[in-house]
């Protein structure tokens, strides 16, 4: 059995090196979004509880960010908790909140170079969790490393609604009437108020676990994104899977309607 495992590892090593060579000199995405899906199903298949799956998935995140840095990705958006996830049992949700807070603490540790932004509706989270996430992200202000967006309490429709609400409030405070705003309103005005304002839209969106839908992830920003789906559950996602996503992205012709 051990020999079979070792042989499999060697095969993957050879395949991974070949993929990396193919990526030399090709186009790389500036912004990668990842839907980290399948923690619970991975745990169930292993005969473990959901919290264990979330913890294993959390440990995978730093690995992914390392792979992204090697690929010269500038922005990574990680979807950790959707607004729909808030309907889960209090026991699972409580454990998940603590795991997510722990992940953000790890990503914002003084030893890490990343700039972290929390994207989502923090008002739907427990007050203590929201404060902890905000304080952790604030610690990374002024850093120059890769931008890491952590989507918690995130929903694409909620994000657009929040952006429009902020836009209306801004113009109301400036004395602009609805009629005047309607005359000048553009998509850029709304984009300026999204959670990811000031950042490039995602070039590549990855979803694990075999589901082939976005479930509302970055609805506005993904208008021209390339999608890549894999059967692997998030805790089992490997570097070779990430390289395959980059390879497939590199060979696609991005016409943007032209």
Q: pLDDT of 118-127, one tens digit each?
A: 999 999 999 9
In a domain, 126, yes or no: yes
What Cα–Cα distance (Å) separates residue 113 from each residue in 29, 64, 206, 251?
A: 20, 15, 23, 31
Could you give the CA distance from residue 203 to residue 226 in angstroms, rounded to a whole number? 6
Q: Is residue 105 part of a domain?
A: yes
User: Does residue 116 belong to any structural domain of this protein?
Assistant: yes
Binding residues: 37-42, 54, 82-84, 88, 207, 213-215, 226
Q: Do 128 and 187 share a domain, yes or no?
A: no
- Helices and strands in the chain: count of H runs, count of E runs: 9, 6
Q: Which token pair is 90?
A: 């209090």
Do 45 and 35 lie in one domain? The reply is yes
Residue 78 located in a structural domain? yes
Which of 24, 49, 85, 248 is the catalytic position? 85
pLDDT of residue 39: 97
Taking the CB of residue 73, how many other CB atoms lie within 10 A of it?
20
Exactly one of 37, 149, 201, 203 is catalytic; name it. Answer: 37
Angle at 22 between CA 18 and CA 24, to 5 degrees: 120
Which residue ranges are tagged as binding site for substrate? Answer: 38-42, 54, 82-84, 88, 207, 213-215
Contacts of 133 (CB under 8 A, 6+ apart): 100, 101, 104, 118, 122, 125, 150, 152
3-state SS, residue 47 = coil
Q: How far apart are CA 53 and CA 253, in angstroms?
A: 37
Q: How far apart are CA 127 and CA 249, in angstroms?
A: 39
- pLDDT by 10-residue block (mean), the chain, 258 residues: 66 80 88 98 96 96 97 98 94 95 97 97 96 98 97 98 96 94 94 97 98 97 97 97 96 66
* Number of domains, the chain: 2
Q: Does residue 84 sit in the same domain as residue 145?
A: yes
Query: Are 170 and 211 contained in the same domain?
Result: no
Q: What is the largest CA-CA distance in the chain?
A: 73
The phi-psi region of residue 244 (left if phi > 0; otherwise alpha if psi is between -120 and 50; otherwise beta) is alpha
* Predicted structure pTM score: 0.92
Active site residue 87: no
**Cβ neighbourhood burial of 28 (10 Å; 0-12, 13-18, 19+):** middle
Residue 23 lies in a domain: no
The 10s digit of each residue's pLDDT in 50-80 is 999 999 999 999 999 999 999 999 999 999 9
Q: Is residue 219 domain-resident?
A: yes
| 124 shares its domain with 206 | yes
Q: Return all residues near 158 (Cβ < 8 A) that are at least 6 apart.
A: 83, 121
Structure tokens given for 30: 């500036």
Has 37 been annotated as catalytic? yes
Range of the domain at 145: 28-154+201-257
Write out the binding residues for Mg(2+).
Answer: 37, 226
């Amino acid at each position: 059995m051990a020999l079979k495992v070792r042989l499999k590892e060697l095969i993957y090593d050879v395949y991974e090196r070949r993929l990396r060579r193919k990526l030399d000199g090709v186009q790389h995405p500036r912004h990668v979004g990842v839907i980290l899906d399948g923690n619970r199903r991975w745990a169930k298949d292993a005969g473990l509880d959901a919290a264990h799956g979330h913890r294993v998935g959390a440990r995978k995140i730093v690995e992914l960010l390392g792979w992204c840095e090697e690929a010269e990705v500038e922005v990574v958006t990680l979807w950790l908790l959707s607004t729909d996830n808030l309907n889960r049992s209090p026991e699972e949700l409580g454990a998940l909140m603590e795991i997510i807070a722990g992940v953000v603490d790890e990503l914002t540790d003084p030893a890490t170079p990343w700039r972290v932004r929390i994207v989502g509706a923090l008002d739907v989270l427990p007050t203590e969790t929201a404060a902890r996430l905000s304080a952790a992200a604030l610690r990374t202000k002024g850093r120059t490393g890769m931008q890491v967006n952590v989507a918690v309490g995130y929903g694409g429709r909620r994000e657009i609604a929040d952006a429009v609400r902020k836009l209306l409030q801004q113009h109301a405070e400036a004395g602009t009437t609805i009629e005047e705003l309607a005359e000048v309103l553009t998509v850029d005005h709304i984009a300026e108020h999204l959670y990811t304002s000031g950042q490039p839209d995602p070039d590549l969106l990855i979803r694990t676990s075999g589901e082939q839908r976005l479930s509302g992830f970055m609805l506005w920003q993904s208008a021209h994104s390339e999608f890549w789906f894999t059967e692997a559950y998030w805790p089992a996602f490997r570097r070779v899977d990430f390289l395959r996503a980059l390879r497939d992205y590199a060979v696609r012709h991005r016409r943007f309607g032209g």
